[in-house]
Amino acid sequence: MNITVNGLALDFEPGQTLHDLIISMNLDPSVVVAELNHDIVPGEKFAATGLNAGDRLELLSFVGGG
Amino acid sequence: MEHDIFEIGGKRLSSRLFTGTGKYGSDSLISAVCEASGSQVITVALRRVDLDKSADNVMRHIPGHMTLLPNTSGARTAGEAVRIARLARAMGCGNWIKIEVISDNRYLLPDGYETARATEILAKEGFVVLPYMNPDLYVARSLADAGAAAIMPLGAPIGTNRGLRTEEMIRILIEEMDLPIIVDAGIGTPSQACQAMEMGAAACLVNTATPRLRTRCSWAAPSDGPWPQAAKPGSPGPEPSPLWRRRPRP
């Protein structure tokens, strides 16, 4: 199924959670915050959040800034 | 300086130096800067994860005792600043937020009206809001009314290291406002930070100037006597003043 992650259309196996997807992208879930279809998903809900075809996901993290 | 305590958003702070983390060639320098300066508050920004490369994460280099002050850089409207602030809080690193609303890409000057709108919304949501602002008394008053915990007037445009070009305007804010005044942007040398503190600012936020320093020569205050002399590149540089070093935790 296709999910748009940070503006890129990517193909994932159905049935994955947000946590699975973050791990499959080699990201550390503890330093990422997610916005799924414009709703914020805090880290403790990654594993309980299912994904559906057509979802729009934003993954963000802190970087250096003044 | 154990006697020199000030408070923002209910947090007691003993260091008057806030540290920005942009423009470092390597984020691994950040922990050394925190250690040498004794700074207790540190800014970060929130960005989309780059899916094409596994980047180092800045949080790995920020000592755990630091108070995190995420900024809303990238926001061009109050609504965008609010969205970034909520995302930053969802990272679970506290509820402080530095509001930056900038739609002027040439000078990076803050939009006072949009900043006040964002401040009002976020303060009502329980954020400790520190807005970056032009040193204008009317904007300062509207930010105070909106619930700001401190205000952060610019000394000169971001990244210019031009010092306190807005000195007289900041002096008026210090005289007229009850909120802590944290001079943000423009400070390029320790003497300029001293000047801000002598005027009565509560603290300074320094970013661009720090990674540009060629030595460990510190932003720390001298215990007495002159500022430490910068050492030649390659030599370790003078030790920071013990007074401003981080006290060991019990």
Q: Where are the domains of chain B?
A: 6-49+56-244
For B51-73, b/e burial (b = at least 16 CB within 10 A) is: eeeeeebbbebbeeebbbbbbbb
The encoded tokens of residue A56 equal 């729009």
- Please say if the pLDDT value at position B250 is more than 70: no
- Please say if the pLDDT value at position B127 is more than 90: yes
Across the interface, whether the CB atoms of A65 and B21 are under 8 A apart is answered yes
Q: What architecture is domain A2-60?
A: Roll (3.10)
A66 to chain B: closest CA residue: B20
Strand, helix or coil for residue B128 = strand
Q: Check if B197 contacts A (Cβ < 8 Å).
A: no
User: For chain A, what percent of residues have pLDDT higher than 70?
Assistant: 100
Q: Give the pLDDT of residue B222.
A: 46
Distance CA B117, CA B129 (A): 12
pLDDT tens digits, one per residue of B17-34: 999 998 888 888 888 888
Q: What are the boundaries of each domain within chain A?
A: 2-60
Lowest mean pLDDT segment, chosen from A12-16, B135-139, B209-213, B242-246: B242-246
Across the interface, whether the CB atoms of B51 and A32 are under 8 A apart is answered no
> Which residues on chain B are in Cβ contact (under 8 Å) with A27?
49
Across the interface, whether the CB atoms of A61 and B47 are under 8 A apart is answered yes
Give the predicted TM-score (pTM) of the model.
Answer: 0.84
Q: Give the pLDDT of residue B82.
A: 97
| Cβ-contact B18, B42 below 8 angstroms | yes
- Please say if the pLDDT value at position B217 is more than 70: no
- Please say if the pLDDT value at position B206 is more than 50: yes
Bridge partner residues of B153 (DSSP): B133
Distance CA B239, CA B219 (A): 11
> Which residues on chain A are in Cβ contact (under 8 Å) with B185?
66
Bridge partner residues of B184 (DSSP): B205
Across the interface, whether the CB atoms of A61 and B73 are under 8 A apart is answered no
A38-42, A60-64, B148-152, B233-237 — which one is most confidently predicted on average?
A: B148-152
pLDDT band at B36 (very low <50, low <70, confident <90, very high): confident
- ipTM higher than the 0.85 cut: yes
Chain A: nearest CA to B245, how far in angstroms? 22
| Cβ-contact B235, B215 below 8 angstroms | yes
- Report the residue from B21, B90, B185 with minimal CB separation from A64: B21
Across the interface, whether the CB atoms of A65 and B91 are under 8 A apart is answered no
CATH topology of domain B6-49+56-244: TIM Barrel (3.20.20)
**Catalytic annotation, residues of B:** 98
Q: What is the mean pLDDT of chain B?
A: 85
pLDDT tens digits, one per residue of B42-101: 999 999 998 877 667 888 899 999 999 999 999 999 999 999 999 999 998 899 999 999
Q: What is the mean pLDDT of residues B140-162?
A: 95
> Which residues on chain B are in Cβ contact (under 8 Å) with A62?
44-47, 57-59, 70, 88, 91, 93
The answer to whether the Cα torsion of B139, B140, B145, B147 is positive or negative is: positive
The answer to whether the Cα torsion of B55, B61, B64, B68 is positive or negative is: negative
Q: Check if B39 contacts A (Cβ < 8 Å).
A: no
Distance CA B115, CA B140 (A): 11
Distance CA B25, CA B35 (A): 18
pLDDT tens digits, one per residue of A16-45: 999 999 999 889 999 999 999 999 998 999
